[in-house]
A and B are shown apart, each in its own frame.
Chain A
């Protein structure tokens, strides 16, 4: 039950001094569920491990519950962590796995020596009954009471993950850290565990920091999402904020699946208002987006226009803002169809159409090679600066410290800790 504060946290590895995490400032409120999300090597795991105390910080301050924990060992930080590969102790039963942190727990107790009258500090171990009680409580919440006497290798992936969560739960820690806990599960189980995590969170009611590379997990679990890239925070916001008003092109493309379509075009202004001409087709920007542009007095400029695949609609040929496209690939996903289409300018666009809105013949007609007409409304458009990739309508000042927002560097400077282990062997 604590807030976590990261102030100018920085992490550099090795002699090269290439930063893995840079200028990380974040305040996590008590009982908040925050998700760090980003591509691999963006420094999200490193940040989590710094909070846990498994990695030293190069500079900056980390506070947990108002106390600076920079130099405290992990056990004194009041945290619990769940690892991607579960990290269960294979030689111990499930019960002993969960009891392990409790058995190591020593509570200081003042004791007066009856002879000398001096007060001595004594450390007492937790009594066995208390340990059993706490393990049983956690096991019941997680539904693993039947497996308590088994060894980890006799459990399935989902059960192992539950034990790992249980081991973290029994400690009554202030902050719950989860490092890609669902990545090792198969897709079906992952969805199930994700839902269970949401339920579990209500029961545990503590501060959660969750690391994932999966934007779906981030969107569904987080109260707030921290999108990271190359060691820098790109955006912090609620899932809706991040989705509807991405700070920059990177966030826009990272959040949402399939990724947002982009067009290099020019934002222009005439007497009727703003308009863009993606693929040579003029589309007027009216409604709220037009008003917002006007309110900010945005000048005509080269922009990258972003439209999410689910916001592209099919239309008739005689629609004045119809862009003719040829279907290249038709991906039938069951509940929806993903059409990869090619514009006359050879730009590839993905269109996402729910199958429920198509009748059988329409569905069958959408095969590779045919021409369709697409368009989109101004309400769903996103405008990014052509040079810096910043959202023209974002309220937060776009950080200058994102040099690679548009062109991903060939080699990411950030290194995951695991890779470091391997290199040092």
Chain B
């Protein structure tokens, strides 16, 4: 393919008078301008020079050497001094500091775990039902759990919260991922504006719209005993606004995957479903968990929507109702049992989904 006629060898063959270094002698001059007769001599001289300089370097010790040697010697001594300081004092100091840190952390741990342990222990207390001045039960039993499911409306609260949790998880995940994918991959007019508006709106707390939402839901007859359906609508309505984390995740997936799939003939929805979603397990799990947990912890909105109709409560509002002044003495331990029961589904869900929090799913997609 390539014409090689300009090769050095060819040049030589074509014109004997000229040539490269190959078969031609060439002159080399030393730095002071004297001609070195042949390359051979020059090389020998240089070699002997090199020998001499090596020898002289051997005679020089420490500071009489050149700049570089001096520097390295200075560095060495500094290192020695540093290493001398280390043992003894340093180690004791580190032990003391570590002890202090660990004691502080242990204190924090106890402080943090105490309420949970307290609730768990009190839920098994059978000798009394009201507030007691101690947490270790004198008489153990599951009577509180039995009362919780038989005497209160807890099963209904629990059921409706579970339904709300599932509904929110499903709808919110679909909305959020769709919005995030669209904003991550598509370029359209007003995209930036839309993102900014959503960011700013997201900063307002949800209960600012409490009264308005109540009025609307009331008009549609979705409050009081029907509060569950109203709450599902409220929880899922603006769920697309929480797209930020998912978008950040999608942004990290190489655009070449989309482009390659486009060339392979996939539609944008096929790309989303067959390639992007399988790669996004961690973020899908995260979105599901967040969606599922929202109704369990919501108190303000749930109480307001149920509006004193106890059958419309979610678990948070219901359990709080057990702590009102008139109920407190009879139902405090039952409340504790309710708290523990509520923790069960969320804990189970976390334990099941935890293993999907695997990073590096995208490994190997693009050069790693």
B44 A361 Cβ-Cβ under 8 A: yes
Size category, B interface = 35 or more
A316 B278 Cβ-Cβ under 8 A: no
A105 B265 Cβ-Cβ under 8 A: yes
B14-47 at interface with A (beta carbon < 8 Å): 15, 18-31, 33, 35-36, 39-40, 42-44, 46-47
Q: Which residues of B contact A244 (CB under 8 A)?
A: 3, 6
Interface check A39, CB cutoff 8 A: no
B263 A366 Cβ-Cβ under 8 A: no
Q: Which residues of A contact B18 (CB under 8 A)?
A: 313, 315, 375, 377
Q: Which residues of B contact A81 (CB under 8 A)?
A: 259-260, 263
A21 and B270 alpha carbons, distance in the complex (Å) = 32
* Segment with Cβ contacts to B, from A60-68, A152-160, A290-298, A407-415: A152-160
B21 A87 Cβ-Cβ under 8 A: no
Interface check A11, CB cutoff 8 A: no
* Segment with Cβ contacts to A, from B129-137, B201-209, B250-258, B291-299: B250-258
B46 A364 Cβ-Cβ under 8 A: yes
B28 A424 Cβ-Cβ under 8 A: no
A104 B364 Cβ-Cβ under 8 A: no
A155 and B364 alpha carbons, distance in the complex (Å) = 8
Interface check B2, CB cutoff 8 A: yes
Interface check B365, CB cutoff 8 A: yes
B11 A87 Cβ-Cβ under 8 A: no
A79 B275 Cβ-Cβ under 8 A: no
A160 and B187 alpha carbons, distance in the complex (Å) = 30
| Contact A101 B21, CB 8 Å, known A85-B366, A372-B26 | no
A167 and B361 alpha carbons, distance in the complex (Å) = 21
CB distance from B40 to the nearest CB of A (A): 5
B2 A87 Cβ-Cβ under 8 A: no
B256 A87 Cβ-Cβ under 8 A: yes
A88 B262 Cβ-Cβ under 8 A: no
* Segment with Cβ contacts to B, from A228-236, A261-269, A270-278, A350-358: A350-358
B279 A365 Cβ-Cβ under 8 A: no
Size category, A interface = 35 or more
- Looking at chain B's contact residues, is the secondary structure mostly helix, strand, loop, or mixed? loop
B364 A83 Cβ-Cβ under 8 A: no
A240 B42 Cβ-Cβ under 8 A: no
Q: Which residues of A contact B1 (CB under 8 A)?
A: 223, 238-240
Q: Which residues of A contact B219 (CB under 8 A)?
A: none
Interface check B127, CB cutoff 8 A: no
Write the chain A residue with the least CB distance to B260: A87
A91 B46 Cβ-Cβ under 8 A: no
Write the chain A residue with the least CB distance to B21: A314
B364 A366 Cβ-Cβ under 8 A: no
B250-292 at interface with A (beta carbon < 8 Å): 251, 254-257, 259-266, 270, 275, 278-279
A148 and B295 alpha carbons, distance in the complex (Å) = 46
A58 and B151 alpha carbons, distance in the complex (Å) = 74
Interface check A9, CB cutoff 8 A: no
A57 and B74 alpha carbons, distance in the complex (Å) = 64
Contact of B264 among A54, A84, A104, A310 (CB under 8 A): A104
Write the chain B residue with the least CB distance to A318: B27
CB distance from B48 to the nearest CB of A (A): 12
Interface check A385, CB cutoff 8 A: no
A377 and B362 alpha carbons, distance in the complex (Å) = 57
Q: Which residues of B contact A171 (CB under 8 A)?
A: 264
Q: Which residues of A contact B260 (CB under 8 A)?
A: 81, 83, 87-89, 167
**9 A–B contacts, CB within 8 A, in A order:** A81-B259, A83-B260, A90-B364, A310-B6, A311-B6, A313-B24, A315-B18, A361-B39, A370-B29
Chain A to chain B: the 6 pairs with minimum beta-carbon distance, closest first: A153-B364, A357-B22, A87-B256, A101-B264, A152-B364, A371-B29
| Interface residues, chain A, with chain B CB atoms under 8 Å away | 52-54, 73-75, 79-81, 83-91, 100-101, 104-105, 151-155, 157, 160, 167, 171, 184, 219, 223, 238-240, 243-244, 308, 310-311, 313-317, 324, 353-354, 356-362, 364-367, 369-373, 375, 377, 379-380, 421, 424-425
| Interface residues, chain B, with chain A CB atoms under 8 Å away | 1-3, 6-8, 11, 15, 18-31, 33, 35-36, 39-40, 42-44, 46-47, 187, 251, 254-257, 259-266, 270, 275, 278-279, 360-368
